[in-house]
Amino acid sequence: MPMSIETIGVVAGALITAFLVALITTPIVKSLAQKWGAVDVPKDGRRMHDHPIPRMGGLAIFLGFLLSVILFIPFVQTDGLGMQLQGMLLGAVIIVVLGILDDIYALPALPKLIVQIVAAVIAVCSGNVIETISNPNIFSNDLYWELGWLSIPVTVIWIVAVTNAVNLIDGLDGLACGVSTISSMTVLVIALTVAEPTVAVLMACLAGGCIGFLPYNTNPAKIFMGDTGSTFLGYVLAVVSIQGLFKYYTLISFVVPFLMLGLPIFDTCFAFIRRIAHGQSPMHADRSHIHHRLIDMGLNQKQAVAVLYVISAILGLSAVVLTTIGSLRAMLLLFAMCIAGSMSIMLVLRGGEKKPGGEPPAAPKKEDKEEQEENKK
């Protein structure tokens, strides 16, 4: 059942408001980041920039999102900020505060993970739970899986995993922000299609905040979103996908959230598998993410980001298509996409291996050290 013109107007107003708030507040947040010492200084080969750049820009996205939600959600939700939404917003505030502290003080991984789990549990306790998912086995007589007591740990794992997945792809100027914009617009279109006004407004608020921040974050970036932004975006996308995608009793409801967040999820999974295969900790930072491999193949930052935008858009469009066509055609399309995706990934991985010397300019640093030692002598 299509939405009314009034609801579409509310969605448009939410997007524009979040856009303007983020656009206006980003310079203010940039000044605060410089004042508080939230600055990213290039210290290793994984960094793509060569000079200090302020981070914590995600605070502007959060402000745009929060103000827009407060203003426009009452138009589509009769009980105002309901229990589920209150839990999500409280968890989001915790994630943002954690991100600000991390951008300033570079916190250890374990305390961050604990706080993220707490934020996920808050969302779960407020009713954001994956209770039922479709059975991916099309030959089974059971169309759906009732998770029962597993619903709580599965939901917590989903929220924490997506939160960190978006954070891990934040390696090039505008990448995480643009991919999150595409993902949120995907859910927005799906929500409009299935008449879910609350989800549509939430995603409009998130997309608007991202779009307002992008002019400052595209290459060459004037400010980074930092963990403040990347973890916030991942958290909101994870929770809203529970509200708007997992709950539908359709054959492809299990697949759609993974397509919508396909790029960060697949990149994170491959990163973990690669690190474990090399005897490293899954949390060990490296320079083998898909965006690094594209740079190693000879692409510049803008080209690499454009390629990943296209991949993310294709996955998002596929998610929209899967919600509007029959189950059989949906499964055939998904099968074809899996084959095409696997071939593309193999090409990217091979291309990255052809140029093992694709480290960013770390060599000049060694030369500088040698020159300094010679000058001392």
The structure's pTM equals: 0.81
Q: What is the pLDDT of residue 303?
A: 82
Low-confidence ranges of the chain (pLDDT < 50): 249-251, 349, 352-377
In DSSP terms, 134 is beta-bridged to 144
> Residue ranges per domain, the chain?
7-366
Q: Cis peptide before 27, with omega less than 30 degrees from 0?
A: no
Characterize the bridge pairing of strands 53-54 and 132-134: unpaired
Rounded Cα distance between 249 and 265, Å, is 23
Please state the φ and ψ torsions of residue 122, each to the nearest 5 degrees.
-60, -45
What pLDDT, on a 0 to 100 scale, did the predictor assign at position 256?
A: 67
Q: Partners of 146 in the beta sheet?
A: 132
**Can you give the three-state secondary structure of the chain, one letter per residue?**
CCCCHHHHHHHHHHHHHHHHHHHHHHHHHHHHHHHHCCEECCCCCCCCCCCCEECCCHHHHHHHHHHHHHHHHHHHCCCCCCHHHHHHHHHHHHHHHHHHHHHHHCCCHHHHHHHHHHHHHHHHHCCCCCCEEECCCCCCCCCEEECHHHHHHHHHHHHHHHHHHHHHCCCCCCHHHHHHHHHHHHHHHHHHHCCCHHHHHHHHHHHHHHHHHHHHHCCCCCCCCHHHHHHHHHHHHHHHHHHHHHCCCCCCCCCHHHHHCHHHHHHHHHHHHHHHHCCCCCCCCCCCCHHHHHHHCCCCHHHHHHHHHHHHHHHHHHHHHHCCCCHHHHHHHHHHHHHHHHHHHHHHHHHHHHCCCCCCCCHHHHHHHHHHHHHHC
Residue type, 15: L
- Write down the pLDDT at residue 272: 73
Q: What type of residue is 210?
A: C
